[in-house]
Structure 1
Amino acid sequence: MRARRVSTPLTGWRAHLAAIRPDADPVEADWWDTSWETPTPAAVGFLVPAGFEAYARVLHPAHDRHRDAVRWSTVAEECGTVLHAEAQWHALAGRRSSREHSPPPTGTGWPGNEPDVGCLDRTSLEALADVLARHTTTAVTTYVAFWVGYGLWPDAWSDAPTTARPVREAYLFQRPLDEVATLCAEAPAVALALGTPTGSAVVWSTDGRSWVPTPDEQFTTWASLQWQSPSAWWPADRAWATSNDTDLDSTLVGGSRALVADLLGDDRLEALPWPVDGSLWSGADTINR
């Protein structure tokens, strides 16, 4: 007699994750007018669509030595630098170049850790979503793009249609605004749920032993810890758009003047008004040099 398979909350969640696939028509992204026509284009028209009334730059939190979130304004104050719209992290934090990622020697700059690039943390994304929800008539229908190159997605998605816009090739999902944070936590866990984790994993014990966890061990250990914020996000009425390139430590938002004012006034976010001709290239910070 064969043993009956017992269903648990974990197996149910695994089945739920395994069923997730890109589900939006890529043509929904065709309205993005972004292009790369010059070597170092301005961010508006390159990373986020032109034509909105106003723009804001939402800064991804930096971290101290204990990985606690720290605002860029705090880093600027400690380093004697200036926080401004086009500030570059390496210049603000006293690093020699954008390629210098480790904390510098004592007394020469910010001793903590840099912001996450290509990913806005969940707390900040949920705060951003609260603001965005007040500035669209179609919160029930929004579109979420994830860059295909993050190395998180399962092989099972290889036949899914992709969009070449906003800037990079992306998988596209349709979700209500209040479900986007859940998607950002679940989509990167699909490969683990399918038992085909991307990359390789090695676990080290305190006594120096190491081993490669099984796919089931990787799922139970890491699936609930996954997170990837949208590469781009917009509602069906196109009242606003957000963009976060994989190499950037901030998220750009275009929308109405009222939206940008709300972002700048929200204490949960560190946001700056963004000029239409502003640049996020590594040499754009002409103040902190």
Structure 2
Amino acid sequence: MEWTGDVSAGDWLRGRLDDPPRGTIHDVAPRGFEAYVRILHPVHLERIPNERMPSFDAVAAMTDAGRESLFSRIEERPLTWREAAGIFGTEFSPLADWEHLTRSTETPGVLVTPAGDWVNPPLGGELDPAQVAEIATVLASHTAAPDDGVVALWDGHPGLLGGMRVRSSRTVYQAGDPSDANLHRHNEMLGRSAKDLWSAVTGKRTWHDGILSREISAGPRLELPGRTHVLFRGGVSELADLEWTDAAPWRGEDADDILSPSLIWPDDRAWVLVSDPDLDSTLVGGSAALAAALVARAGLDAVEIPADAVLDGHGVTR
């Protein structure tokens, strides 16, 4: 995959998205496809066999050795959304959002099941690398252009792009015994805060690198309703390789924490994939045959949804 500044490649999407938004999937997924599929983002259950998981307060009170012992005993397995609905006593629906499905009304985070196990919730706009490869394998067989297309990333991911930011022009004196670790951390925090305050008035703006180069960071973006994207030329066949992360242009220092694509489409526009950061699932528009193949694919928690579907509880928020 290579960066491209030719953002006109995505102009066809703009006229097929609802602007202003109407609260349907077409706020983010273009109209005009025969069928639509919702790929539910991964969820994981954590438990200790024959033992009840401790409360989060109990974990926080443990020593480092105690937490290490606890985590070494935890077993993790994937959990389908249908299974999660059964665990939390709700009814599964292809249009349900995670919060309604699990009755979680607080800030999204790890949930505790009635049996005391932990459930790690889905990430908004993100798939794990193996799931990207699984989806891409199916997509590649439903286009005449598996080696030619566009892969896009939402430009709002923290640290993705470089930019002009304030750098402090003055440091702040900090007193205290340098051997005191707690005092050191306090002074470090205080120093950052004071420097930020000073910089807001007198600081100089300098370039700070992101994961992507300065050329890409300063380059053209594809502007869609409510979202702006960086484009890369590349075929979905590249993403079907389990090692796709090794060659991804946006690979940072932590390859295990690589971003998944926000948009993918082939040059023949046979389908489009959308992973919007506000949604707990990925949407794919394409043929009926593609929809059936995604739903049937082992390893994917995918459901077909109607065109103009409104996801339970919310549309896409901006």
Specify if TM > 0.5.
yes
Q: CA deviation at 1:121?
A: 1.2
Q: Distance in 1 between matches of 2:19 and 2:221?
A: 19
Structure 1 residues 67 and 188, CA, compared in 2 at 3 Å: closer, same or farther? farther
What SS does structure 1 have at the residue aligned with 2:224?
coil
Amino acid in structure 2 at the alignment position of 1:103: L
Unaligned runs of 5+ in 2: 47-74, 163-213
Q: Secondary structure at the residue paired with 2:293? A: helix
Find the structure with the greater CA-based Rg: 2
Q: What is the identity percentage for the equivalent residue pairs of Structure 1 and Structure 2?
A: 33
CA distance, structure 2, for counterparts of residue 152 and residue 163 of structure 1: 19
Question: C-alpha separation between the residues in 2 aligned to 1:241 and 1:259?
Answer: 11
Aligned twin of 2:6: 25
Match of 2:111 in 1: 103
Q: When the two structures are aligned, how many residues end up with a matched partner?
A: 230
TM-score, normalisation: structure 1 = 0.72
The answer for the alignment partner of 1:250 in structure 2 is 281
**Mapping 1:266-277, distance limit 5 Å:** 266-277=297-308
Contact 1:75 1:110 in 2 (8 A): no
The C-alpha deviation readout for 1:105-162, integer Å capped at 9, x for no partner, is x629973110121111112111111111111001110101100010132421322211
Is residue 47 of structure 1 aligned with residue 39 of structure 2? no
Matched, 1:132 2:194: no
Deviations 1:70-129 (A, max 9, x none): 2112211212222212111011112125x443424x629973110121111112111111
Across the aligned residues of Structure 1 and Structure 2, the Cα RMSD in angstroms comes to 2.4
Superposition deviation, residue 24 in structure 1: 5.0
Residue in 2 that maps onto 1:119: 126
Does structure 2 conserve the Cα–Cα contact (< 8 Å) formed by 1:34 and 1:167? no
Establish whether residue 173 from structure 1 lines up as the match of residue 182 from structure 2.
Answer: no
Q: Distance in 1 between matches of 2:84 and 2:132?
A: 21
Any conservation in 2 of the 1:67–1:113 contact (CA below 8 Å)? no
Q: Which residue of 1 aligns with 2:18?
A: 35
Counterpart-to-counterpart distance in 2, 1:146 and 1:184: 14
Taking the aligned partners of 2:223 and 2:296, their CA distance within structure 1 comes to 34
Q: Which structure has the highest strand share of the two?
A: 2
Residue in structure 2 matched with residue 158 of structure 1 by the alignment: 217
* Runs of 4+ deviating beyond 6 Å: none
Instruction: Report deviation, 1:184.
Output: 5.2
Give the TM-score, by structure 2 length: 0.66
**Alignment partner of 1:83 is 2:73:** no
- Look up the equivalent residue of 2:263 and give its one-letter code: A
Provide the C-alpha distance between the structure 1 equivalents of 2:117 and 2:97, rounded to a whole number of angstroms.
Answer: 13
Distance 1:239 1:37, change over 3 A: same
The one-character-per-residue Cα deviations of 1:151-207 (angstroms, maximum 9, x if unpaired) are 132421322211102751000001122223666563333xx5xxxxxxxxxxxxxxx
